[in-house]
Structure 1
Amino acid sequence: MINMFLLILVLMAICALEVKDLINAVIMLAVFSLVMSIVFYYLKAPDVAMAEAAVGAGVSTVIFVAAIHRSGGGRA
């Protein structure tokens, strides 16, 4: 089961690097972070999983989207 999540992590990281639209890259990084929190939960670290979900998928995604919006960009 965890092997599937690790494969998804690798695929999301590659997709986030290869995509040209910055908003889509941020969304892929948010999904990466959510999957990473699931991996932490399976590894019996629920406190780390909650922190990763809150900070990695929540706060950092909002900050990235705000920075992209303020810079007027979206395409790399």
Structure 2
Amino acid sequence: MSLALGFDLLLASALLWSAWRALTTVRLDHAVVVFIVFGLLMALAWARLQAPDIGLAEAAIGAGLSGALLLDAYGALRRREAERKAP
């Protein structure tokens, strides 16, 4: 087994693991972080498939922009829950 094939298998298993964890994680903040990790791993997979333009778009939009929006939405949700609990 060559080093490139071993890396590709490791990347594929990390992609599957992170996708599974993002879907099955109970805590919402952990799910958002794992989703961002999934986007970064997907960008690396696109680069390994010799599609660097798609990889850059995935990193910028999939991991960066979507991750930032999800983290902001999670923060707003936490603030709203704190306001409801406050007397």
Q: TM-score, normalised by structure 2?
A: 0.78
User: 1:28: Cα distance to partner?
Assistant: 0.2
Listed as ranges, the gaps of 5+ residues in structure 2 are 1-6, 82-87
Superposed CA RMSD: 1.1
Match of 2:37? 31
> Following the alignment from structure 1 to structure 2, what is the Cα–Cα distance between the partners of residues 71 and 35?
27
- Aligned partner (choices 56, 59, 68) of residue 74 of structure 2: 68
Match of 2:18? 12
> Following the alignment from structure 2 to structure 1, what is the Cα–Cα distance between the partners of residues 53 and 23?
28
List structure 1 runs of 4+ shifted beyond 6 angstroms. Answer: none
Q: TM-score, normalised by structure 1?
A: 0.89
Count of matched residue pairs: 73
> Following the alignment from structure 1 to structure 2, what is the Cα–Cα distance between the partners of residues 51 and 17?
23
Match of 2:46? 40
Identity, in percent, stands at: 33
One-letter identity of the residue aligned with 2:17: L
User: 1:10: Cα distance to partner?
Assistant: 0.5
Bigger Rg over Cα: 2
* Greater relative contact order structure (CA < 8 Å, 6+ sep): 1
> Following the alignment from structure 1 to structure 2, what is the Cα–Cα distance between the partners of residues 38 and 63?
21
Higher relative helix content: 2
